């Protein structure tokens, strides 16, 4: 007889009305160092915006200005149309989750939440304790109520810190890299929990991270910061598929977009190793690793789902050093990112430079440098005449260092950038 189903229902927090946030040409300088340069950003009520960027990009400075822990050198910050300049942190109706938990070490989990509610919200002791217990139960950590931080794991301490922020029902929740000190599996679990809780609560949230996968998973919109400037604001799909700048293209993606510099003249972008048609004024072009198709050289390769067939004859005239030779593997389907049709009209190579645009595609010859297994896929790093680039293929494709390969991509998959790094659209 099966075990009885346990009642796992937990209390739900009452919702709040998130506040719209407007950063209006915010700049912050520390002497000669410009941490932020005229950042303008609007966050809708109840929206989660991930602030993404490398170290030193200004994302934590922007968060501190929002919290009232720092003031901008120039510009304005408004909550619901009301300027917050000069308003102290405790009057902004903001709660914050810090990177290093910031829990009182001598207090229990329950007391950490209760103190935040009593002093931050002015609730009576009994009401504060009741709401604290409700919040811990909602987070699934009611059993931690009597434990001190030293008696908890890192994930448990962070859940308590998140609970302290959510229990106050603040209109704005700020999260400053709250999971950077946790292991990978726990980070995935926690970010799912955090997003679900923030959405159910209805608060407006800013989530600072340097982890692009985290930003993609958490944010309704992502604001990419670089060198103190707002590089792009958009949905995760917009950020990835249509990067507004070369900085965004090279930062977002794992591995990031492959980018080459060149010189534009008479409608073409040229450099040692390539010569291709490009929009006026182009200074560089790039292609995502998954938009490249990989053809192997003459070595036999296991490709799932391919039927037995004789190897095609070697093309002695090919500058690649051979046609593709396929050895079938049992089961599966043709691997994405791998082209087994070696006899197609576009399977040859470009000019002696390594690049060409026969039949509307880019073609580049090279040899395998490193092949990395990443779950169901591999990232293959290929050394070419124009530099090393990455291509994403199915894990069923087995390549070894030194294998000759051809990389191809349709011209529609290429992204062009101007001298200042802005994306250029094809006419």
Q: 29 pLDDT exceeds 70?
A: yes
Tell me how far apart the terminal alpha carbons of the chain are, to the nearest angstrom: 69
Q: Is residue 166 part of a domain?
A: yes
For residues 244 and 320, membership in a common domain is answered with: no
Long-range CB pairs of 349-357, under 8 A, 24+ apart, other chains included: 349/318, 349/319, 349/320, 349/406, 351/275, 352/319, 353/272, 353/273, 353/274, 353/275, 353/385, 354/273, 354/274, 354/384, 354/385, 354/386, 355/273, 355/274, 355/275, 355/276, 355/386, 357/276, 357/277, 357/411
**pLDDT at residue 291, rounded to an integer:** 94
Q: 82 pLDDT exceeds 60?
A: yes
Q: Is residue 177 part of a domain?
A: yes
- For the entire predicted model, the pTM comes to 0.79
* % of the chain with per-residue pLDDT over 70: 81
**pLDDT at residue 306, rounded to an integer:** 42
- Which of 44-53, 54-63, 337-346, 383-392 shows the lowest mean pLDDT across its residues? 337-346
Q: Is residue 161 part of a domain?
A: yes
Q: Is residue 256 part of a domain?
A: no
For residues 74 and 221, membership in a common domain is answered with: yes
Cα separation, 404 vs 13, in Å, equals 59
**pLDDT at residue 159, rounded to an integer:** 87
- Which of 139-143, 242-246, 380-384 shows the lowest mean pLDDT across its residues? 139-143
Neighbouring-strand partners of residue 176: 208
Q: Is residue 329 part of a domain?
A: yes
Q: 200 pLDDT exceeds 90?
A: no
Q: 183 pLDDT exceeds 90?
A: no
Q: Is residue 157 part of a domain?
A: yes
Instruction: Please state the domain count of the chain.
Output: 2
| CATH classification of the domain holding 91 | 3.40.50.300
Q: Is residue 384 part of a domain?
A: yes
Domain region containing 226: 21-248
pLDDT band at 288 (very low <50, low <70, confident <90, very high): very high
Give the residue, 407 or 71, on which the prediction is more confident. 71
**pLDDT at residue 115, rounded to an integer:** 92
- Tell the residue number behind the tokens 């070419």, with chain if given: 384
| CATH classification of the domain holding 375 | 2.40.50.140
């Amino acid at each position: 007889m099966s075990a009885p189903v346990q009642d796992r229902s937990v209390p739900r927090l009452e919702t709040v009305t998130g506040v719209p946030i407007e950063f209006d040409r915010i700049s912050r300088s520390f002497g000669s160092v410009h941490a932020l340069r005229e950042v303008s950003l609007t966050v809708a009520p109840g929206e989660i915006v991930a602030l993404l960027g490398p170290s030193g990009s200004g994302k934590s400075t922007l968060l501190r200005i929002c919290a009232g822990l720092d003031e901008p050198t120039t510009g304005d910050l408004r909550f619901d149309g009301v300027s917050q300049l000069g308003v102290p942190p405790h009057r902004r109706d903001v709660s914050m989750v810090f990177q290093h938990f910031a829990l009182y070490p001598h207090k229990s989990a329950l007391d950490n939440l209760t103190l935040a509610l009593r002093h931050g919200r002015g609730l009576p002791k009994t009401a504060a304790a009741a709401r604290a217990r409700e919040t811990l139960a909602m987070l699934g950590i009611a059993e931690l109520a009597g434990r001190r931080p030293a008696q908890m794991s890192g994930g448990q301490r962070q859940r308590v810190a998140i609970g302290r922020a959510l229990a106050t029902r603040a209109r704005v929740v700020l999260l400053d890299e709250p999971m950077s000190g946790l292991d990978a599996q726990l980070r995935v679990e926690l970010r799912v929990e955090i997003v679900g809780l923030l959405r159910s609560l209805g608060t407006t949230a800013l989530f600072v991270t340097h982890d692009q996968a985290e930003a993609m998973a958490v944010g309704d919109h992502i604001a990419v910061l670089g060198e103190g400037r707002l590089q792009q604001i958009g949905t995760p799909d917009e950020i990835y598929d249509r990067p507004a700048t070369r900085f965004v293209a090279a930062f977002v993606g794992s591995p990031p977009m492959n980018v080459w510099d060149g010189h534009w003249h008479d409608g073409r972008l040229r450099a040692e190793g390539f010569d291709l048609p490009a929009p006026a004024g182009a200074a560089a072009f790039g292609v995502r690793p998954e938009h490249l198709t990989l053809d192997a050289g003459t070595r036999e390769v296991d490709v799932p789902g391919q039927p037995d067939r004789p190897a095609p004859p070697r093309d002695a005239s090919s500058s690649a050093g051979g046609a593709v030779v396929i050895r079938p593997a049992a089961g599966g389907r043709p691997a994405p990112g791998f082209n087994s049709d070696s006899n197609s009209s576009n399977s040859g190579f470009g000019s002696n430079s390594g690049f060409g645009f026969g039949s509307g595609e880019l073609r580049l010859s090279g040899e395998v440098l490193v092949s990395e297994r990443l779950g169901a896929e591999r990232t293959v790093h290929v050394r070419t005449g124009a530099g090393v680039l990455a291509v994403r293929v199915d894990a069923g494709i087995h390549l070894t260092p030194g294998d000759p390969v051809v990389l191809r991509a349709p011209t529609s998959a290429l992204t062009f950038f101007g001298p200042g790094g802005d994306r250029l659209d094809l006419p």
